[in-house]
Amino acid sequence: MNRKYRKTIIAGNWKMNLLPSEVKGYGEKLKCLAPKVKWCEIVICPPSLMLQAALKTFSNARIHVGAQNICTEAKGAYTGEISAAQVKDLGAKYVIVGHSERRQYYGETDKQVNLKVNIAIENGLIPIICLGETLEQREMGITLDHIRLQLKIALSGVPADKIRKVVIAYEPVWAIGTGKTATSEEAGEVCKEIRAQLRSLYGARIARSISILYGGSMNGDNAAELLAQPDIDGGLIGGASLDPEKFYSIILAANQ
């Protein structure tokens, strides 16, 4: 973390978990814990049909809300999709883009990720852009090449005056939901490379202002070590975000 230049962010990705009727109870528990948090921005990304309930629960609590996905298109005949403008209009601040589960199970391509990044920014949402290599790619030694390519395509068309409005999340696919975490050195090395590429695309001042999160089995036990890496500015948390106390233990590590 480097708070001098960038925000520390702890974001919970609920994925397809919890029920609309459970949002309030979760929120009450987290709100009781979170007032002590000064140094990090807390974000909750619930399923889209719970966005409104989450926004209501977390209003006035300095806990921000984000969607887990948006459509590549602005509006129109796209049954089942939700638009960036709709998410923004509800009052959400963030949207996760290019999560590996969307890439893996729904065939989301780098090109679609790029369209979503741009449409999110155009509509005033902050995209949390997910990048990550598979185990096969790591074993082949092409992790950094793969991440560089994913990042370059994701940011295509994003001008320098808008790039401060993005957050990057490095999420090794093999670490998501598996209980296997990248070592802090492995995660730190990739996040350092992401920043180096941001520097070559947008210059040093901009690169040092962008928050880069780590995601993949982050929990209260490993968070402090991961966050001690200079280029890791927070976490994108799946499993451990479903329980407010477990989530809070990560927030505490980030608030040190």
Interacting residues with ligand PGA (CB under 6 A):
13, 171, 176-177, 215-218, 236-240
Amino acid symbol at 230: P
CB of 236 to ligand PGA, least distance (A): 4
Pseudo-torsion of CA 190, 143, 9, 55, nearest 10°? Answer: 170
Q: Phi and psi at residue 216, in whole multiples of 5°?
A: 135, 90
Give the DSSP H or E segment for 117: helix 110-122
Q: Which of 99, 108, 133, 193 is catalytic?
A: 99
The active-site residue, picked from 41, 101, 133, 171, is 171
- Confirm whether 146 is a catalytic residue: no
Residue 161 C-beta: closest distance to ligand PGA, Å: 29
Q: Which residues contact 143 (CB under 8 A, 6 or more apart)?
A: 133, 137, 172, 190
Which CB atom, from 13 or from 69, has the smaller least distance to ligand PGA? 13
Q: Give the residue among 220, 218, 163 at the shortest CA–CA distance from 194.
A: 163
Q: How far apart are CA 120 and CA 118, in angstroms?
A: 5
| Closer to ligand PGA by Cβ: residue 121 or 237 | 237
Taking the least distance from each CB to ligand PGA, the nearer of 207 and 250 is 250
How far apart CA 65 and CA 45 sit, in angstroms, is: 6
Q: Assign residue 141 a region: left if phi > 0, alpha if psi is -120 to 50, beta otherwise?
A: left
171 is catalytic: yes
In angstroms, what is the minimal distance from the CB of 13 to ligand PGA? Answer: 4
CB of 237 to ligand PGA, least distance (A): 5
Which residue number, 95 or 176, has a Cβ lying nearer to ligand PGA? Answer: 176
Enzyme catalytic residues: 99, 171
